[in-house]
Amino acid sequence: MGHDLGHTPFGHDGENYLNVICEEQRIGYFRHNAQSVRFLTKLENLGEGCNLTLQVLDGILCHNGEEISEHYEPVYTKTKEQFEREYRSCLNQPGFGKGIKPSTLEGCVVRVCDVIAYIGRDIEDAITIQLMTRDEIPEEISIILGKDNRNIIDVLVRNLVKNSFGQPYLSFSRDVLNALQSLRDFNYQKIYFAPVKQQQDSKIEKMFRMMFQTFLDDLKTKNAKSRIYKDFPIINNQIYRSNTADARVVIDYISGMTDNYFLNTFKELFLPYR
């Protein structure tokens, strides 16, 4: 649950668009893992945050599974001060955040589960929209991991448990690790960087920019009829407003949208009613 809080509409593509906007507005950077922590500490409960332990917040901050590791080993010596430095660096330093390690073994479980959750799921989605076929998965990968999400998850979980039991870290066997890394590379080629998908990316980026500018204007003109005033209650918190640039307020609002809410809002703002 904590992992998904900071995810933007349209996943990592939306994250990249918001990050570019943050850079242009000179308000730092956008990282979905840090945004999850921001929601839980700064935005939830009308600014009061949630009463979560440092270890839980750290596990959420360090959950990113984009980098597949040979060993997932916690940094037991991490302090509250180090956690806060890492959190701030995610928002203030370009490219920071993917390599930070959690302070607990449970945090390592979250990190590796992120990989297990998306690697096969993305294949199923790509097959559903006819971006690829199941037979395109290379045999050297499928013979180890399988060809569908159910088998991929089963193989990865069983292998992880077997190779990690009794160890102070988590790890896959060498053959499974190699197959997993190859499958990630395959996904990038066939799904994430697919020409058909990239043809739509520029449209989605324009939608983000149009939405951002509209709500930024609404804040500057104090348009009380705007959705950002109606659907984003923390906007009435004076401490939050006085400590947060208008551009970051809009980023906070858009980053919390679901895909459907984003699309419905865009239609309401920019498409005529029938």
Buried b / exposed e along 230-259 (16+ C-beta atoms within 10 A): eebebbebeebeeebebbbbbbbbbbbbee
Calculate the CA dihedral of residues 62, 117, 184, 172 and round it to 10 degrees: 80
Q: Which of 19-23, 57-61, 67-71, 244-248 has the lowest mean pLDDT?
A: 67-71
Q: Which two tokens stand for residue 122?
A: 């993305």
Q: What is the pLDDT of residue 183?
A: 96
Q: What is the pLDDT of residue 55?
A: 96
Q: What is the pLDDT of residue 64?
A: 84
61's enclosing H/E stretch is helix 54-61
Contact status, residue 5 vs residue 40, Cβ threshold 8 Å: yes
Q: Which two tokens stand for residue 20?
A: 């570019």
Q: What is the pLDDT of residue 93?
A: 94
**CATH of segment(s) 31-193:** 1.10.3210.10
pLDDT category of residue 248 using cuts at 50, 70 and 90: very high
Give the count of beta carbons closer than 10 Å to the beta carbon of residue 46. 12
> Is residue 128 over pLDDT 80?
yes
pLDDT in tens, 172-202: 999 999 999 999 999 999 998 888 878 888 9
Q: What is the pLDDT of residue 66?
A: 77
If phi > 0 it is left, if psi is from -120 to 50 it is alpha, else beta; for residue 87 that is: alpha
pLDDT in tens, 45-102: 999 999 999 999 999 999 887 788 889 999 999 999 999 999 999 999 998 888 899 9
Q: At what angle are helices 54-61 and 105-128 packed, to 10 degrees?
A: 40
Q: What is the pLDDT of residue 176?
A: 97
d(CA 18, CA 251): 7
Q: State the chain's mean pLDDT as an integer.
A: 94
The pLDDT > 90 percentage for the chain reads 85
pLDDT in tens, 225-238: 999 999 999 999 99
d(CA 90, CA 33): 8
Instruction: Kindly report the pTM of this predicted structure.
Output: 0.90
Closest CA to 167 of 245, 108, 91: 108
* For the chain, domain boundaries: 31-193, 201-270
Q: What is the pLDDT of residue 65?
A: 74
